[in-house]
Chains A and B, each alone.
Chain A
Amino acid sequence: MSTPLIEARKVTRILPGIVPTTLVRDVNLTIGTRDFVAITGPSGSGKSSLLYLLGLLDVPTEGEVLINGRATSQMHEEERALTRLSFLGFVFQFHFLLPEFTVRDNVMLPMRALGRLSPREMIERADALLASLGLGDHRLKRPDQLSGGQRQRVAVARALANEPPVILADEPTGSLDSKSSMQVFEVLHSLVEEHGKTVVAVTHDMGLAERMHRHVELLDGCILADQAHAGT
């Protein structure tokens, strides 16, 4: 068992309202170093909700999410933001790049927000990340000048900007064709294999899920199965 980077302990998330909706119910999950985890399940099963809870984008109604062994429920919003910035990288189904900024500027955004590198180091790092993802020639373009797969790879580069140990991906291939999906999957896979990152990805694509190291299946907000397999 890897060292736990993220741990969910009896996590429940209920959306308040006239009819409260339970998104995630009593989930226990441990994510360790170099884990390559697929979260699958039918629509409305709570996959993305669980990912947002693990990524501190949402707060559990009950239970606790621990990051590096530290409970997060009592964290101040600013501290949660800083944890996201330095410890977690997000990739969403849509690239969500800032349209007015260049590719390089988008990748530099988390670095600038964290403010630990000099401008020159930020540029060098952004360019190196883009080059490693095959986007070296596109760094000065704007997102609307790239294909869907390229944009998603830029989003991956942005997620890696502050060298977080964990990448959380919410259907990263959901809006891509099969070729681009494969490219993005390979990038995520290489992050685990070559760079020692932990990747947790929500996906509908059972083919991709089967190729990941671990497969967590959700149904109605509960974990139905959590199994490790050989991977790719």
Chain B
Amino acid sequence: MSLVFDIAWTHVRSRVRQTGFAIAGVATGVGFSIMMASLMQGSQDDFTRRLVNTLPNITVSDERRAPPQQPAEKLYNVAELHGLTPEARRPGIKNPLATMAALEAWLPGKIAPSVKVQAIIRYANHDLATSITGIDPNREALVSDLPKQMRGATLTALYRATNAIVVGDRLADKIGARIGANITLQTSVGTRLSAQVVGLFHSGVRQIDESAAYVLIKTGQILAQQTGLINELRVRLADPLASREIAARVESDTGYKSVSWQEANEDLISTFIIRNIIMYTVVGAILLVASFGTYNIISTITHEKARDIAIMKSLGLPEFTVRSIFVVEALMIGIAGALAGFAFGYVLCLGLGSIRITNPFIDSDRLPLVYEPLHYLLAGAVALVSSVIAGYQPARKAARQHPVEIIRGAT
């Protein structure tokens, strides 16, 4: 093997400029692959983290996934019934405290009850549809990052005023309200309530910051005109990635619709998949183009070294050894390119991370980048494999050359 390595090394070393360009090609491919992967993964992780932190991992609502069977359907054994008015059902989760206790017995996480009400916020001639959640400030920290997302006050400020409300900062901006402002809440069931803004929050998810508000559970029940109403249980798990499976079990245990954060954001997650496919396609294309450089140099070397190949074969070096020489050359270019690419990719990430940006969709003023060893390993592995594939074809061709033809040509 050392003979193969020695000859390969000599060939590569004696063509510094050509080899340098081939290595630069691979390094560019690897570097940009790492940068793209870092940026894509970073933005995805950042967005997912905000989703997971801002929203409950699982939301158990008082809805049913399939409409309950109507009494007439139970009574008559027929294929289909027309003109039935569904049985009126009292909204809310039945025995919420008992349900919570039953779930807490096995569920690896925390649960908080809440009341969800749709309302219109009115302030200074602005009418804005809002999703209002009645919460228990003392339990909220167990299921969301809302206490950490508060601006200008803590969540306990909800206790300080009658009908106190905490609104998203973007919502406050939209209607022009500040802390201390008295706003009017109007619900679809006809409740009209005056509430005081006691704090703002900023989740980083634009949709939430523009349309969500929090009140005490009691205030929520007043808005819904139903004493004791709990229409939502919000769950935070120790392992958010297990949400889908646990949500399914909660649903089968309680009968209530139980939605994991993954299900609630299915469209976004599928967008990530498409985005990743695009990313890997682009990265693959970059590395493929880089492998053309490797192919080119190995082809050139085998062409230039045709006479040496002939003489080595005539001396008795087997085809496998001759082929190995050029495959090892390709591998050397691949390894050098990958290592240089690692450094280049890292520098690109540092450079990209130092750029200041202002983007309404990104909370930070820096691009979210992830320094993941897996990206380096993947880019390096793809570079090596593509280099070997690129080098194999000319190596195979070189090893199959008939030495007599070349020796005759040379003489």
Contact = CB atoms under 8 A, between A and B. Distances in A.
Name B's interface SS: helix
B11 interface: yes
Contacts of A83: 316
Interface string A88-106: 1010111010101100010
Contacts of A90: 314-315
Interface stretch (B20-28, B285-293, B317-325, B387-395): B317-325
A113 B10 contact: no
Given A57-B403, A81-B316, A94 B3 contact: no
What are the 4 A-B residue pairs with the smallest beta carbon separation, nearest first? A85-B316, A84-B316, A96-B311, A112-B3
Contact of B315 (A52, A100, A109, A170): A109
A158 interface: yes
B12 to A, nearest CB: 11
A81 B313 contact: yes
B72 interface: no
A83 B314 CA distance: 11
A110 B404 CA distance: 18
B2 interface: yes
A86 to B, nearest CB: 7
A171 B411 CA distance: 10
A72 B311 CA distance: 21
Contacts of A158: 315
Contact of A77 (B6, B319, B407): B319
Nearest to B9: A100
A84 B312 CA distance: 11
Contacts of A78: 318-320
A98 B319 contact: no
Contacts of B313: 81
Contact of A94 (B6, B308, B402, B411): B411
Interface of B: 2-3, 6-7, 10-11, 14, 307-308, 310-321, 402-404, 407-408, 410-411
A146 interface: no
Interface of A: 48, 52, 55, 57-58, 77-78, 81-86, 88, 90, 92-94, 96, 98, 100-101, 105, 109-110, 112-114, 158, 170-171, 174
Given A81-B313, A85-B316, A113 B408 contact: no
Contacts of B311: 92, 96, 98
A96 B313 CA distance: 12
B319 A96 contact: no
Contact of B317 (A85, A94, A101): A85
A21 to B, nearest CB: 12
A165 B319 CA distance: 24
B315 A85 contact: yes
A57 B308 contact: no
B408 A110 contact: no
A173 B310 CA distance: 20
Given A112-B2, A113-B321, A84 B11 contact: no
A92 B3 CA distance: 23
A112 B314 CA distance: 15
B407 A92 contact: yes
B165 to A, nearest CB: 81
A38 B408 CA distance: 19
B411 A110 contact: no
A86 B318 CA distance: 12
B304 to A, nearest CB: 11
Contacts of A55: 314
B408 A48 contact: yes
A101 B404 CA distance: 23
Given A85-B317, A113-B317, A96 B410 contact: yes
B11 A100 contact: yes
B321 A84 contact: no
Contacts of A105: 6
